[in-house]
Amino acid sequence: MIRRKKRKGQDGPSLFEKAKKLCPQLEKESVVALLGYDLHPTRPAQKVEGIVIIDREYITVFLDGEETNKIRLEKIAAIKTDNGVGTLFVSYELKSDNSIHLLFVCSMMYAKHAIDTAKMINRIIEHGWEYYEKLKAVRAKSSEAETLGNRKVCEKCGKPLPRGCSKCPHCTSKLETIKRLWGVVKPYKWFVFISMILFAVVSELNLIIPEINKIITDEYITSASPETLNATSYIWLILLMLLSQVALRAVGVLRSHALIHASNDMIIDMRNMLFEKIQRLSIEKISKKTAGALMRRIVNDIATIHSFLINTLPSLIEQTILFIAIGIVFIANDLSLLLLLLLIPVPLVMFGFSFFFKKINALFHKCWGAGAKTNSVLHDIFSGIRVVKSFGMEHRETERFEKSAAKERDLQIKSDTLWYTIMPFMQFFMCFGEFIMLFYVGNAILGGDMTIGDMSKFSIYASMIYGPLRMFSHMPRQIINFLTSTNKVFEIIDEQVDVDDADDAKDIQIKGNIDINHVSFGYDSGAEVLTNIDLHIKPGEFIGLVGKSGVGKSTLINLIMRMYDVEDGSICIDGVDIRDISQSSLRSQMGVVLQETFLFSGTIYQNIAYAKPDATREEIIAVSKLAGCHSFIIRLPDGYDTKVGERGHSLSGGERQRIAIARALLHDPRILILDEATASLDTETEKQIQDALQHLSANRTTIAIAHRLSTLRNATRLVVLDKGRVAEVGTHDELMEKKGIYYGLVMAQREMSKMESADE
């Protein structure tokens, strides 16, 4: 009998087995979806075991084994999900009276699956069962776990895999970090190999010197018959010692050269890997991390790895080889007992370390966190310095910074104090063996078993053997810092790219035809932002997107730019799904002007030329004139060479906006996207830019979002979004005639304008 091996952590029956127990007639094929939930609908503190079975006819809800609700699917207009705080409410809307009824409440552990299922059921309700059949066919190709919508768990430990992780972080060993690092080291393996050989040579040379020393002492300095000594051989010995020292230094220099080259190249590779990865991550993932945290990864963590590779690791290798070599010398000279005596204190010290290690490790982590916090406070204050000054809050912000810096200082003092208090004692105990050696060798000399030269030789070896041991005692701190930084760097490098180029992604020459085919989309947090958007835009059209705030206008633009991937449906440009077009090809032919503009540190000229570095001066001036920024730029003392950005000349919001528009115009995109691009400009300047844009948009597809509806007066078609759906499409005149949502918005704005005019 074959038994399936049960995964650790996956106790008890599966969701289907539980459902089968409640409904014995249930067949896997008839199940459309199975949901688990864990909270009592009215007593949240009470954990329950809830199951929802959705088949082609009914949604049946069970609470602790009891059926509590059963509703025919055909009566349902939609499944709704509402986020609480740490909870999700799932309800259904009845077709008959649009009333909404609670289905169940769950914690966030079950939320993602519930949201995905709700979306699927809603699409089935909207498109019919054919949609489900298609979906099933697609899902049949993926794993069973995904088919059932269950959360993926690690095969080894049974813990749920965090979203975006293909490997279980819990089961990844430290060895794996080293292996990952080897991937970076591999291209430089020959440098590393040569370094290793040179390390061995250095160790050997280190051992030769005490040997020569012994000969000089025994055969010349303490010789019983000095008259028989050979002066030439003595000079040769001295020369040999000198040569050994020179060779030692020369090999050391060669080794350092090999290492410096390899480690610096490795670090640059790693930094580039990290930087490229951050660039590839979607807006959603990047926006979850602060600029400070990302900078810290690229700058500080990489510096820690660099320092380890260039300083700590070479010493570690050198000292390890030396330690082994000296050990061999002791054993070869029949001094195993002495070696043992020398090493007696080591286990005790190492044992002490295991206690010390935990404490200091925690403190280092805290110091790292406190450092990050101080940096972020500083960044925060400097970014908002205008607000701080305008409210006269300098004193409070100084206090905030001082408090954070003081916390960092206290933690640093605590960790340094502990380190520098414990370490000298540790090192003392480690060197305790030297006293033992003195006793042992002294006895041997007195007994005639050893010479003074032997004592000199072994004293040097003994002090050399403690060198590596002292080094090893410092090692944990560096290794911890190194592993922490390496993990943090690989955390980003390993992050799954959610919007990535397909293997066979192609570059296309965009003409400007955009087909948005039944697109639905919702952010991670839940409810759909866009539902079943079906819109077809011809090349050269100027589309105005209109609607209330939060209705999904910017989301739709983000989807067209493929900042996110659609959940359902597709977006095609010139008949090609944008998921099959390389992102660089797609975005290089799109121009975007956002309400919030960003100018890089550099001159105005460089900022305008950003998207087309080979632009001529004539082109720059022409687009600046079109964007209405030429006139103010030439009035600046440094003209187009004026520095802008963080440390440069401060420009007004409108001026920055116009530079951004010039930048987009110079880019000459096939698809131009304007997201509230002219909102911060006065009406006259806006009109001037609108005319320029109209002139330029003759051959390009333009999509513009604007709350000020007059901005869209040149639009060939207006698309009104409402509650995530396309509510109205038409020209201004058509929509005004229709007297729908657009009409309402225009009237409200006219009313506002009248009031403003009256006020003036």
Partner 1 sequence: MDNIENKNEIMLEDAAKITKLDKDNATFEMKNGFLSLTVKVNGEEQVYDRVFLHRAFPHELLWEYISVTGPENNEVGLIYNIDDFSSDAAELLKTEINRKYYSPVISEIYSVKERYGFSYWKVRVDDGRTLNFTMQDTFGKIIRIGEDSAILVDVDGNRYTIKSILELDKKSYRRIELYL
Locate the DSSP E strands across 574-678. 576-577, 590-594, 602-603, 643-644, 671-675
Token pair recorded at residue 580:
């099959």
Q: Which of 13, 169, 442, 744 binds partner 1 (CB under 8 A)?
A: 169
Which residue in 47, 134, 396, 750 binds partner 1 (CB under 8 A)? 47
Nearer to partner 1, 160 or 648 (CB): 160
CB of 422 to partner 1, least distance (A): 18
CA–CA dist 634, 665 (Å, integer): 19
Count of beta carbons in the 10 Å neighbourhood of residue 53: 24
Q: CB of 49 within 8 A of CB of 38?
A: yes
**CA neighbor of 76 nearest in space, from 91, 55, 87, 61:** 91
Distance between CA atoms of residues 16 and 26, nearest Å: 9
**Using CB under 8 A, which of 62, 330, 466, 490 touches partner 1?**
490
Q: Which is nearer to partner 1, 241 or 293 (CB)?
A: 293
With binding defined as CB under 8 A, does residue 381 bind partner 1? no
571 strand-pairing partners: 516
Per CB under 8 A, the list member of 84, 252, 352, 371 interacting with partner 1 is 84
Smaller CB separation from partner 1, 458 or 490: 490
Cα–Cα dist 282/497, whole Å? 7
Part in contact with partner 1 (CB under 8 A); list of ranges 222-230, 311-319, 362-370, 553-561: 362-370
Specify the amino acid at residue 79.
I
Question: β-strand 590-594 against 542-546: which pairing, if any?
Answer: unpaired
Among the listed ranges 104-112, 637-645, 676-684, 704-712, the one in contact with partner 1 (CB under 8 A) is: 104-112
| Rounded alpha-carbon distances, angstroms, from residue 426 to 83, 338, 432, 439, 479 | 56, 21, 10, 22, 18
Residue selected from 14, 30, 99, 731 as contacting partner 1 according to rule CB under 8 A: 99
Phi-psi region of 560 (alpha: psi -120 to 50; beta: other; left: phi over 0): alpha
Spatial separation of the C-alpha atoms in residues 703 and 557, rounded to whole Å: 8
Among 26, 63, 73, 102, binds partner 1 (CB under 8 A): 102
- Sites for partner 1 among residues 425-454 (CB under 8 A): none
**652: nearest Cα among 676, 680, 631:** 680
Q: Out of 1, 2, 45, 140, which residue is the one contacting partner 1 (CB under 8 A)?
A: 45
Give the chain's radius of gyration (CA, Å): 36
Q: Return left, alpha or beta for 575; rule: phi > 0 is left, psi -120 to 50 is alpha, else beta.
A: left
CB distance 124 to 140 below 8 Å: no
CB of 372 to partner 1, least distance (A): 7
For residue 284, state whether it binds partner 1 (rule: CB under 8 A).
Answer: no
Compare residues 289 and 511 and give the one whose CB is closer to partner 1.
289
**In angstroms, rounded to a whole number, what is the distance separating the alpha carbons of residues 749 and 624?**
31
Say whether residue 100 binds partner 1 (CB under 8 A).
yes
> Could you tell me the smallest distance in angstroms from the CB atom of residue 506 to partner 1?
34
Half-sphere exposure of 2 (CA within 13 A, CB side): 1
Residues 525-554 that bind partner 1 (CB under 8 A): 525
What angle separates helix 432-446 from helix 452-493, to the nearest 10 degrees?
160
CA distance 106 to 118: 14
Instruction: Return the residues of window 701-760 that contact partner 1 according to CB under 8 A.
Output: none
By the rule CB under 8 A, 44 interacts with partner 1: yes
CB of 661 to partner 1, least distance (A): 34
Q: Which is nearer to partner 1, 18 or 366 (CB)?
A: 366
Query: Considering only residues 149, 160, 539, 740, which one is a binding residue for partner 1 as defined by CB under 8 A?
Result: 160
The smaller minimum CB distance to partner 1, of residues 13 and 164, is found at 164
Q: Does 488 bind partner 1 (CB under 8 A)?
A: yes
Site for partner 1 contains 287 (CB under 8 A): no
List the Cα angle 304/280/150 in 5-degree steps. Answer: 100
Q: Does 487 bind partner 1 (CB under 8 A)?
A: yes
Kindly tell me which of 119 and 255 has the beta carbon lying closer to partner 1.
119
Closest CA relative to residue 586, chosen from 550, 616, 562? 562
- 103 versus 510: smaller Cβ distance to partner 1: 103
* Chain centre to alpha carbon of residue 79: 34
What is the DSSP annotation of 145-212?
Answer: HHHTTPPPB-TTT-PBPPTT-SS-GGG--HHHHHHHHHHHHGGGHHHHHHHHHHHHHHHHHHHHHHHH
Residues in Cβ contact with 102 at an 8 Å cutoff, skipping those fewer than 6 apart: 41, 89, 90, 91
Nearer to partner 1, 155 or 646 (CB): 155
Q: Which of 79, 111, 529, 715 is in the footprint of partner 1 by CB under 8 A?
A: 111
The neighbour count for residue 3, using CB atoms within 10 Å, is: 5
Nearer to partner 1, 103 or 615 (CB): 103
Distance CA 485, CA 306 (A): 10
Q: Which stretch binds partner 1 (CB under 8 A): 44-52, 510-518, 607-615, 626-634?
A: 44-52
Minimum CB–partner distance for residue 42 and partner 1 (Å): 6
d(CA 198, CA 252): 7
**Does residue 297 belong to the site contacting partner 1 (CB under 8 A)?**
no
Based on CB atoms, which residue is closest to partner 1, 165 or 185?
165
The span from the first CA to the last CA of the chain, in angstroms, equals: 90
362 binds partner 1 (CB under 8 A): yes
Smallest distance from the beta carbon of 11 to partner 1, in angstroms?
Answer: 12
| Minimum distance, C-beta of residue 100 to partner 1, in the bound complex (Å) | 6
Nearest CB to partner 1, comparing residues 84 and 740: 84
Count of other CB atoms within 10 angstroms of residue 637: 7
Q: Which of 148, 247, 372, 431 binds partner 1 (CB under 8 A)?
A: 372
Candidates 162, 183, 639, 744: give the one binding partner 1 (CB under 8 A): 162
Binding segment (CB under 8 A) for partner 1, from list 301-309, 490-498, 588-596, 726-734: 490-498
Q: Is 352 in the site for partner 1 (CB under 8 A)?
A: no
Specify the residue, 177 or 256, whose C-beta has the smaller distance to partner 1.
177
| Of the residues 13, 65, 86, 187, which one makes contact with partner 1 according to CB under 8 A | 86
Closest by CA to 400, choosing from 381, 385, 413, is 381
Instruction: Rank residues 102 and 208 by Cβ distance to partner 1 and give the closer one.
Output: 102
Residue 536 in contact with residue 515, Cβ under 8 Å? yes
Looking up tokens 């489900």 gives: 132
User: Which CB sits closer to partner 1, 330 or 490?
Assistant: 490
The residue among 62 and 542 lying less far from partner 1, judged by its C-beta, is 62
Please count the residues of this chain forming the interface with partner 1, following the rule CB under 8 A. 48
In angstroms, the CA 628 to CA 618 distance is 15
Order the strands of the 576-577 sheet from edge to edge. Answer: 530-537, 514-521, 568-573, 576-577
* Smallest distance, partner 1 to C-beta of residue 169, A: 4
Distance CA 196, CA 317 (A): 8
Binding segment toward partner 1, per CB under 8 A, in 132-140, 159-167, 190-198, 513-521: 159-167
- Select from 78, 200, 293, 527 the one that contacts partner 1 (CB under 8 A): 293
Residue 43 interacts with partner 1 (CB under 8 A)?
Answer: yes
Q: Which is nearer to partner 1, 445 or 493 (CB)?
A: 493
Binding status of residue 288 toward partner 1 by CB under 8 A: yes
Does residue 175 touch partner 1 according to CB under 8 A?
no
Site of interaction with partner 1 (CB under 8 A): 39, 41-45, 47, 82, 84-87, 91, 99-102, 105, 107-109, 111-112, 159-160, 162-163, 165, 169-172, 177, 288-290, 293, 362, 365-366, 369, 372, 487-488, 490-491, 494, 525
